[in-house]
Structure formats: C-alpha cells, structure tokens
Structure 1
Amino acid sequence: MARFNTRAAKAQPTSRVTSTGRVLRTFQGGRGHERDARSELFLLAVSNFVSQQTFYETGADRDDRFARLVRELAVTDPAWTAGLLGWLRGAGNLRTASVVGAAEYVKGRLEAGASDGPSNRQVVDSVLQRPDEPGELLAYWTALYGRNIPKPVKRGVADAVRRLYSGKSLLKYDTASKGYRFGDILNLVHAAPDPDKPWQGELFQYALDRRHNPDTAVPPASDRVLTAHRELMALPVEERRAVVTAPDGAERLAAAGMTWEALAGWLQGPMDRAAWEAVIPSMGTMALVRNLRNFDEAGVSDEVAAQVAARISDPAEVVRSRQFPFRYLAAYQHAPSLRWSYPLEQALGHSLANVPALPGRTLVLVDRSGSMFYSQLSDRSELNRADAAAIFGTALALRAADADLVEFGTSSNPVPFRKEESVLKVLERFGDLGGTDTTEAVRRHYREHDRVLIVTDEQYAYSRHGDPTEQVPSHIPVYTWNLAGYRAGHGPSGKGNRHTFGGLSDAAFRMVPLLEAARDADWPWVSTG
C-alpha cells in the first residue's frame, strides 16, 4: 500500500445509502440527487482510491471531500464512523481509505474537543493491520499536519506496533525506501514491548540499531529468521548464486525471510530461472500473479509453472488473498503465455463466490460509455471501469436464475451468453458505446423483470423521461453500483425500492438478498439482528 510512507414480501425495505431530496447536477449536467453525509462518506470510502484522478473530478477534490466528511461525522456520529473505518480495513479490505480515515477521525475530534464514542487511540489501532501501516499513518499525518503528533495517534500506533512487529515483518517492510523505518516509529511513539512477547524487547532494539547503526547492528540470537538472514547476507557475492541452485536453496531462502523483491539485490545479478524457482515456493499468491511475465521471461520450467498455476487457481488461496475479481481480469488480460490463462480464469471464477444467485428475472445493465473507458480503477491499475463493470455484470447474469445482460452508452445492446460459459468469453462481446443514456437503456430493455441492476459511474445525459429509476415500477427494486463515488447520483437512494451501493465489494453484493428478504439492510458492520 506504500502510498504515503515513501521516501519521496412486498415490504418496503430501505438501504442505508440515502438521498437528501435535494436535486443537483452531475458532472455532465444531468439531474442528480444529493446523498446525506453518511451515505456520501460510505460511497466515497468504498470506491475512492485516495490521491487518484478520475474523469470528472481530481483526486485532490475527492480526497478533500472524504477527509471533510470523516472529520464531520467523527464528531456528530463517532460510533458509526469508527465502525465504518474498522470495516473498511477488515471485511472491506480497503487499506488506504481506512488509514486516511483514522487520521482524519482523530483530527476532527481533537479540533472539536470531542470525547464521546470510540476513543481516538482505539480507532487508530483498529485500522493498522499490516506491519507497514503504522508508517503509512504517521507519514500521512506529518505530510498534512506537521511533526507535532498528538498522543492518541502515538498510543494507537504503539498498540499496533506491539501486535505487528516481528523479525519476519522487519525484513519485509523495514526497507530503505520508507520515509519512516521501524526504528523511526519506535522513537516517535515509544512503544514498550508486549509483556507476552519476551523476545520483542531485543527485536525493538535491533530495529533501532538497524536504523541508526546499520554497520554494527546484530540481530538477536533468539530470532531464527533474522539470524538466518544475517548468515545469507554475510556470504560473499560470488557464493550466493550457489545457494539458489542447491537442493535446499528454497528452504534456506524461506527460513531467512528472503522475499523475491530482495533476492535480486542480494544476488547482485539477474533473476534467472534458478533464482525464481528457489523463491517461488515462499511467494504469496498475488505476488505470483504479478510476476507471471517474469517467470516466462526467465524460462521457469513447466513443472514449477504447474505448481504456480495450482496455487493461483486454488479456491482457498483465492479466498485468502481477498482480492477483487478485477485483479484477476487484469492479470488475464496481460498474461504473457497461454499456460496462465486457464488458471487465471479459474481464479476469477473463485473470486466471484460471493455474488448472489438471484431468483426470478433480472435485468443487468452495464455502462460502456466513454467515461468508463477513460477512467482507470486507480493510477496504478491497467484495468478501466468499463471492464470492471462488465465483469461484475456478467457474473451477476451468469449466477442469476434468468437474466438479461445489456451494455449501454449512447445506444444499448443485449449481450448474449450461455450459462455454461466462462465470464471471460462473455466479456469479449462487450463494446464501446460512446456517451451515456441510462434512462433510454432502462426504458428499452425493462420487460417486467423482478429487479434491475445497473453497474455504472452514474453519469448520464438529461432525458425528458426523467431519471433511470423512474422507468421501473416503484414496487420493483433497482440497484445501482457506483464505481466512481460522485456526489450526485442518477437517481434517489434509500427509499422504497431504490438502492445505491459504492464500489463492487462483496459486502455490497450481499445486501441484495437481505433487501429482498424484506429486511432492512443495515450498514455492513452493524448486525441486522
């Protein structure tokens, strides 16, 4: 995530994403409906890649809006806001938004002198779940608010440090590319070792020595990973390549916590076939996915490639990785050879496991307008929103008992599919349809369906027929997934059978069957009873 810490039953259910009733204009001039503060923050949080540009709004504008809403709601509704931030980092799996949100939660409450609700310290601790994240939060705070770090931030970070710091995490995350090294963080927050971890005192001291006296720093003898790593680092350069070619090379690298990122520097030479084959067994699933091209260029053997394929397509591994489906689609689109295509297709299918199998007849509308193609999911992603919308819309259609899948823009067209087809085959039939006319698409294709689902960035041209949701009878639910998180949506939300969700997370998809079971869908982090 290193984005900041761098050196450089005909009951009428409700959804919680609610409109205020005030009519605004969308960025393209269409009529829009303003959302209330909580709904707007939720939508931003689950769909905004912090600091990223969008087609209609700069990253800075969206970040400012996000920060302002967090500060406001941290004071007026601290329990709800703390719940949102914890959910974002947990089930939502959105690291950056939760870290930024925690910092702004503290900032808003300190400025207002608020003391009710979840404490600042607790909220900071709750969002820090990976060893590099304490540095991320501190880097964000100091970049915006200076080096005078308040006590609640220090104490929350210290709590997280005691949970997260280990010898292995130090090797992986305490690198020279970070603005805040582990030793810097320990100096700032004065974290005392966890009493239940007697080895942590020596580890903290080593982190400090490693930062300030790297030439003389000696890892604690009690930490086998650090000791093994030091032994490898002490080997003469000319002897190192023999390690990766040895029969026990993979085991030695794993025991020493040697990551694939660090291996090339240690070898001081190219990552050839032997080097990759030695480190592949200890690589994580998504690291394997990101390096498929490197494996092919190095000539990794078919036997090892088969092991990689088995891991990246293993259902349990896919679930454990907690990656959204578009990660696998992006990997598939850029896979260098055919030997990765089917495993990635399988992985994509596994990652869609939480998409509901909807009964009855469903109309699925996928936005393929220009703004969807021009806007990537983030500055670091090669996958655009158009393809992300298509993959989720296709998954919904394939899972549904009876579905009509439609792409729309200036015009609209049915997208044919068969139940036994893979998602990727259906995706090949989608096109680029220019402008946006969501209302006309709904009018043309709605035929007494039991529900309508729209995956879009909610930008539409004004129609004399009104907003898209008005084209559907009021007793039929209309669900909109907004990939962009703009302030004004194309229709009302949270009243009757009109529901808007931010992003394409599993949590949002799970709300559909709850709504249709005539239950009020509460926020994902609140028990519905």
Structure 2
Amino acid sequence: MRFNFSFRKNKPAQVVNHEGAPAYQLTPALELYAAVATAALSDQFYEMADTRLKRLRALVAQNDPRFVAQLAVYAREQLYLRSVPLVLAVELAQVHRGDNLVSCLVARVVQRADEITELLAFYAVANQRQGVKTLNRLSKQLQKGLALSFNRFDGYQLAKYDRAGQVRLRDALFLVHPNAKNAEQQALFDQLVRGELPTPYTWETELSALGQQTFTDATERQTAFRQKWVELIGSRKLGYMALLRNLRNILEAEVSAGAVEQVCAALTDRVAVARSKQLPFRYLAAYRELLQVRSGFVPTVLAALETAIGHSIENLRCFGPGTRVVVACDVSGSMQQPVSQRSKVLLYDIGLVLGMLLQSRCSHVVTGMFGDTWKRVALPKGQVLRNVQEFYRREGEVGYSTNGHLVVRELREQQEQVDKVMLFTDCQLWDSTGRHSTLAQEWREYRRTVAPQARLYLFDLAGHGAAPVEVREQDGVALIAGWSDKVFDVLQALENGGSALTEIEKIEL
C-alpha cells in the first residue's frame, strides 16, 4: 500500500536551517526516514544525541505505526543499521497497542543476541528506569518479541554475545521467559543462567588468550602473533568485517605471502562481499589504515580493497551514456564530523565515497566539491578509494562554507545542460558571500532558462529535518538519505516514478 502521509497537500512551511538560511520542512514520513537513515545516535555538529532521540520520538508519534515498523525493518535489513531500529521498536511500543505489530517487529530487527540486551538497555533509558530489577513491568509486546528472538540463537551466538553491561543475557532470559524449542535449547538456557556456556572460538577470544601469555622477548611474541593470524586466516572463521578491521594488524604481524594471498582472495570474493553487507565507508577506513603500514604487501591489499568495493555495487543500475550527470560533494566544516564517537570516518568521507561510487558507474559525469567555492575535479573512473583520497587531499582548495548554490549557478551562467545534479551534503546550505542567494532560487532559474527537465537529487547525510529546496516531483527535486549503497536503490525507484519512501513501503511485515 502507499501512505497518504508521504506527501503534503499544502505547501510545506518554509523554515530556517541551523545556519539561519531559508529551508523547507520535510513531511513527517520523509523527515523520519532521513533522521533514521543517518542516525549514529552520537553527537553531531548541529545536533546532540539526546536531541536526535527526542526528535525521533516525536516523529514516531506523528507517523502511521505500520510505516514506522516498515522503516525499522528497512533500516536493519537494507541500511544495515543496528541501534536505531531497536529505538524505533521501543518508541513504537509506547504509542501503539492492540495487535502484534510491535512483537513481530522486535522479532524481525533483533538479529544478534546482544541486540536483546541493547534493546532492554534503551527501554530502561526511555522509561527512566534504573537497574535490571525495574524492568519487570516490560511492555508485553516487547516481551513477546524478545522471547521469540531468544529461540533464534544457538549456544555459540549466546556465548559470543554474553557480555558485561547494564543488562546481561542472563537478566534478559529471566525478564522475557522464552519457551525453549526443545530439550537441547533448554539445556543452553540453563547453561546461560549458570554462566557455563563454553567459550566460543572467535578471533577476539583467541587473540585475548594469546595476549595473556608470557613471552621471553619481543621476537617470541611477534612470532606467536604471526602464527596466530596465519591460523585465523586459514581457519576461515575470521568474518569479513573482522578481516577489514584487522588488515593493518595482519600486515604488521608480517604474515607470509601465502597468508596475504588468502586475505586478498577473501576480500575480493563476490559472494563474501555481498553476504557481508558492509557499508561503503568501511572499505575507506581499512584503506586509510593500510596507508600507514610499512609493508611491501600494502599495494596488493589496497588493490584488493578497490576490487571489493567495486563488487559491492555490481548491481547498481546507473544511467546510460547519454545522461549528463553532475556529482557535487559538500566539504564544508560541518561535514568534517565523525559519524560516531568511535569512528574516524567523517560525514564528508561518506559523501565522497558515495559520490565516487556513483561516478564509477556513470559514462558522462562531472565531479567536484563545494565549500566557499565550487570546483570541478576530473578523476579517472575505476579507482573509487583512491579518488576519495585525492578529494581529501584537495578539500582545502574550496574553503569550508556551504555555498551549494554555486554548483547550479555555474551551470546556469554557462548555459550548460545536464540531466541530473547530485549533491552529497548535510543540507545545511547557506550563502557566505552575503548576497542571500539560495539553491532553491538557482534551481528554479536553471530549470526555467536552461534545462527544464533536469532533476536535482539531495543526498542527505545528516538528517537534520529540513531541505534547502522544496522536495517536489513537479520541481524535479528529490531527497535520498543514508550512508549505505542502498541509496542507489532509492535513486532507481525515483527514476521509475516512485518516491524516497517507495522502497520502505515494499517491506512486508
């Protein structure tokens, strides 16, 4: 079904953004989608984490409960986000009752054992409760959904994620009282209660055990860790994300050429890439770590990462050779913000990666960056991560304001006809020159005088709740949000006459 609330009948209210520049309020559904798709639930340049949570809570109450549930599933299964779907489930339980929508949602979005305890920890915060004992009045639908989730996990998964924290899996077991599927699972639950689950074989437990051993000297220690990495690589029990995160450690351990060959084969395996569901910026983070390593194998592994990120978008259906595309990346000061407190990756990096992925699949494309000024940067296709690094090296050349209107102004002044203008930005655009020019004004003039059929795509990387241009089909303006390569699925839906919410509305519950 399609939801009527996806579109406003009346003209959206014009508001101001965080820089005080004119902006347009999004519909409740579009605003919730953008806020969810860009939620790291940590402090951002313009918005603290608590503010984002309060806004999410208000938006959940404004939207149709079924849409909220579909969005939560979409965020978990398509955008590969873990925390925000749990937040949506808890908040939906606060405002929706009378059916099993919430329990079905919880059972769907809880896909790792530690997400059971994460959901309960957030439930305690959301309901202002302190300690495990205060959770005994848990929402019945949340309780039912978590009980169903427990049945999904085997002993390995329960042991792997039975970690110390505000709520442990043992506490959760007592709270939700899952019915074991059989005697074998009941035995696992009993072991969990007694703290007797066998220690699982993981790279973390193996390296932790090795780190507790005593070595006679640094050489013996280096040899032991080299052998352990070779063993882990050969065991094929090192998951894809673990491999990405540990490339630097592996090379610094000076593993053999054969081990490096196995690493590269695992990185570039098409099936493994598809199954791993890595966000594109994970490849960039690994790439940058390797640039700091002194090893003759670095070029080989860098090439493998380029191949891997290429595999990750093999299904991207881009535009034909006759379609003229402009890809413009925001490199302003507010984009120099980490996506989370534990990450070195910036919003700016995400915009560059997504922009270069798009560039790699377009035949007729202009790429560039904007800050105080707009500058075209011609780069070869096929080297996504290398091109991102080239942008990163040159970002100071355009300054740090957010004059995104200059992208379109140049097209208008040069009478240059293009079909698609793609802006990767946090949408906090403003005119630092004092002339009070706006992207909305420039876009209207460009469509009126140069290219009436041109389309403007705003890739919102921050989800602050407003857009610099009114998002309307008749004006050729669309908004897409998120950090995943799935933004290109939304792009395809738009090209087929849908909306940014079409992909979400396809979710079956």
Counterpart residue number, 2:489:
510
Change (3 A) 1:17 1:172: farther
CA offsets 1:454-473 (integer angstroms, 9 cap, x no match): 11111111454433433431
User: Are positions 1:442 and 2:403 aligned together?
Assistant: no
Trace 1:17-28 onto structure 2 (pairs within 5 A). Answer: 21-28=12-19
User: Are positions 1:48 and 2:30 aligned together?
Assistant: no
- Tell me which of 240, 258, 273 is aligned to 2:201: 258
Segment drifting more, 504-513 vs 440-449: 504-513
Contact 2:329 2:370 in 1 (8 A): yes
Distance 1:396 1:471 in 2: 26
Deviation at 1:272, TM superposition (A): 1.2
Letter in 1 for 2:227: A
Segment drifting more, 507-516 vs 41-50: 507-516
Counterpart residue number, 1:172:
160
Distance 1:62 1:412 in 2: 31
Change (3 A) 1:428 1:264: closer
User: Are positions 1:458 and 2:422 aligned together?
Assistant: no
Distance 1:200 1:528 in 2: 31
Distance 1:314 1:119 in 2: 38
User: Are positions 1:275 and 2:247 aligned together?
Assistant: no
User: Are positions 1:299 and 2:254 aligned together?
Assistant: yes
SS at match of 1:382: coil
Counterpart residue number, 2:462:
484
CA offsets 1:12-46 (integer angstroms, 9 cap, x no match): xx995879610111111111101121111100000
Counterpart residue number, 1:188:
175
Aligned residues: 459
Distance 2:5 2:260 in 1: 46
Deviation at 1:425, TM superposition (A): 3.3
Deviation at 1:328, TM superposition (A): 0.2
Deviation at 1:144, TM superposition (A): 2.9
SS at match of 2:308: helix
Counterpart residue number, 1:240:
none
Counterpart residue number, 1:241:
none
Deviation at 1:162, TM superposition (A): 0.8
Contact 1:20 1:34 in 2 (8 A): no
Unaligned runs of 5+ in 1: 1-13, 211-216, 220-225, 230-256
Deviation at 1:130, TM superposition (A): 1.2
Counterpart residue number, 1:387:
349
Deviation at 1:72, TM superposition (A): 3.6
CA offsets 1:20-76 (integer angstroms, 9 cap, x no match): 6101111111111011211111000001111x1111111211121112212343xxx
Distance 1:115 1:172 in 2: 36
Distance 2:285 2:5 in 1: 31
Change (3 A) 1:523 1:451: same
Letter in 1 for 2:201: M
Distance 1:460 1:450 in 2: 22
SS at match of 1:410: coil
CA offsets 1:284-332 (integer angstroms, 9 cap, x no match): 0110111122222322222112111210122211111101111101110
Counterpart residue number, 2:149:
160
SS at match of 2:71: helix
Distance 2:409 2:253 in 1: 54
SS at match of 1:501: strand
Distance 1:525 1:445 in 2: 34
Distance 2:495 2:247 in 1: 42
Change (3 A) 1:15 1:427: farther
Letter in 1 for 2:427: E
SS at match of 1:472: helix
Letter in 2 for 1:58: M
Letter in 1 for 2:251: D
Distance 1:105 1:293 in 2: 42
Deviation at 1:520, TM superposition (A): 5.4
CA offsets 1:367-422 (integer angstroms, 9 cap, x no match): 1112112x112222111122221121122122112111121111111111234x41
SS at match of 1:506: coil
- Tell me which of 324, 336, 340 is aligned to 2:301: 340
Contact 1:16 1:494 in 2 (8 A): no
Deviation at 1:479, TM superposition (A): 0.6
CA offsets 1:47-106 (integer angstroms, 9 cap, x no match): 1111x1111111211121112212343xxx111111111111112211111011101110
User: Are positions 1:68 and 2:40 aligned together?
Assistant: no
Trace 1:215-234 onto structure 2 (pairs within 5 A). Answer: 217=196, 226=198
User: Are positions 1:200 and 2:185 aligned together?
Assistant: yes
- Tell me which of 110, 115, 119 is aligned to 1:137: 119
SS at match of 2:94: helix
Runs (4+) of structure 1 exceeding 6 A deviation are: none
Counterpart residue number, 2:216:
none
Contact 2:69 2:88 in 1 (8 A): no
Counterpart residue number, 1:10:
none
User: Are positions 1:407 and 2:373 aligned together?
Assistant: no
Contact 1:494 1:500 in 2 (8 A): no
- Tell me which of 33, 37, 54 is aligned to 2:28: 37
The normalised TM-score by structure 1 is: 0.81
Letter in 1 for 2:304: P
Trace 1:423-442 onto structure 2 (pairs within 5 A). Answer: 423-430=384-391, 431-432=395-396, 433=398, 434-442=400-408
Contact 1:15 1:522 in 2 (8 A): no
The normalised TM-score by structure 2 is: 0.85
Distance 1:199 1:38 in 2: 44
Distance 2:270 2:376 in 1: 31
User: Are positions 1:527 and 2:490 aligned together?
Assistant: no
Change (3 A) 1:275 1:20: farther
Q: Aligned-residue CA RMSD in angstroms?
A: 2.4
Unaligned runs of 5+ in 2: 130-134, 214-220
Segment drifting more, 269-278 vs 149-158: 269-278
Trace 1:464-479 onto structure 2 (pairs within 5 A). Answer: 464-468=436-440, 469-473=443-447, 475-479=453-457
Deviation at 1:342, TM superposition (A): 1.4
Deviation at 1:124, TM superposition (A): 1.8
Deviation at 1:521, TM superposition (A): 5.8
Change (3 A) 1:507 1:344: closer
- Tell me which of 356, 366, 371 is aligned to 2:334: 371
Deviation at 1:366, TM superposition (A): 1.1
Deviation at 1:340, TM superposition (A): 2.3
User: Are positions 1:351 and 2:312 aligned together?
Assistant: yes
Contact 2:244 2:282 in 1 (8 A): no
Letter in 2 for 1:483: L
Counterpart residue number, 1:254:
none
